[in-house]
Amino acid sequence: MATRISGDAHLRQVSVERLFDDLRERTGMLWVAGRQGGSRVLTSEASQKPTIGLVGHMNFIHPFRMQIMGAAELAYLRALPQSELDHTVERLFIQDLVAIIVANNEVVPDLLLAQCNARHVALFTSPQPSPHLADVIRLYLSRVLAENTALHGVFLDVLEMGVLITGASAIGKSELALELISRGNGLVADDIVELYRISPDTIEARCPEVLRDFLEVRGIGVLNIRTIFGETAVRPRKLLKLIVHLEDHSNEAFSELDRLKVDATYQEVLGVPIRKVTIPVAAGRNLAVLVEAAVRNFVLNQRGIDSTKEFIERQQKLMEDGA
């Protein structure tokens, strides 16, 4: 039966002020009105309620909490008679509105400036095109508001594939990670791995700030992987694709393992099924080579190539031909 790992029960949130600070350099945004609105927050509640949109172009049917105005939206507002303009701008300021962004270096209408100051709603301007702004902000919010959890293990970039190595304490996860790094693979996180569900079927792994670049190896101590192996030996984040679980097996248990395991095993992480491979730990086994082989085999499986089934089918054909 697959193990299920759930996320935090509380809603994640980000303030308008933090969003502005994080994206100001990338988007060229300026805060032109509604400075008192910086404490308003966006929450992950929108992912649970499809009728609540976080960010998008000006919309009155399903209004977004952050409304973006580009050239088309501003042209529409300018074409309205004054009475209709007043009513339309009034409709913008719904209860859940937290910010308005005027894109494309468009001139901000005076009425919009006045209303944002009066209602304490942040008003930003940006030279970037409105579709680009929407994409940047959506990606940012998908990361900071993602459902998340933390697992004990080591997360590595093995052959460009995100691999979480789990197992009992002192089974050799860090030593295995060190050997994989020395073979050209990269470290994401050791000991505590933060996992975020950034889309319905995508899990992203990150490292807690305090543990970044560090790997603890028993008998040696804490190693700074970036300092020892260079910049290419560490990764800031990676998508989780495969879980490799290490199990300690005695000689008797090792001999009784299913050598032709056909059915794939999965583990649910934040509601997303992740392929899981269990590797027995025993004297004389080169675990680093086995992990790399497991990753290569997983890539082949994704392409529809299953070596085990191919071997069984070849045996069956040989038996049928000889019958």
pLDDT tens per residue across span 222-273: 999 999 999 999 999 999 999 999 988 765 555 555 555 555 789 999 889 9
> In the prediction, which pLDDT does 38 show?
92
**Over 70: is that where the pLDDT of 46 sits?**
no
HEC assignment per residue over the chain: CCCEECCCCCCCEEEHHHHHHHHHHHHCCEEEECHHHHHCEEEHHHHCCCCCEEEEECCCCCCEEEEEECHHHHHHHHCCCHHHHHHHHHHHCCCCCCEEEECCCCCCCHHHHHHHHHHCCEEEECCCCHHHHHHHHHHHHHHHCCEEEEEEEEEEEECCEEEEEEECCCCCHHHHHHHHHHCCCEEEEEEEEEEEEEECCEEEEECCHHHCCEEEECCCEEEEHHHHHCHHHECCEEEEEEEEEEEECCHHHHHCCCCCCCCCEEEEECCEEEEEEEEEECCCCCHHHHHHHHHHHHHHHHCCCCHHHHHHHHHHHHHHHHC
- CA-wise closest residue to 94 among 124, 70, 59: 59
Q: Identify the pLDDT of residue 89.
A: 87
Q: Tell me which residue has tokens 């992912």.
A: 47
- For residue 281, the model assigns a pLDDT of 86
pLDDT at 293 over 70: yes
What integer is the mean pLDDT of 123-136? 94
pLDDT at position 15 is 93
Give the confidence band of 1 by pLDDT, cuts at 50, 70, 90: very low
Contacts of 260 (CB under 8 A, 6+ apart): 308, 311, 312
What digits encode the pLDDT tens for the residues 13-37?
A: 899 999 999 999 999 999 999 999 9
Q: What percent of the chain has pLDDT over 90?
A: 58
> In this model, does residue 50 exceed pLDDT 80?
no
Catalytic site positions: 152, 173, 191, 259
Quote the pTM value.
0.72
Average pLDDT over residues 305-319: 79
Distance CA 323, CA 321 (A): 6
Mean pLDDT for the stretch of residues 101-113 = 92
Q: What is the pLDDT of residue 287?
A: 92
> For 195-228, what is each residue's pLDDT tens digit?
999 888 999 999 999 999 999 998 899 999 999 9
Q: pLDDT tens-digit profile of 72-93?
A: 999 999 999 988 988 888 888 8
**pLDDT of 61:** 79
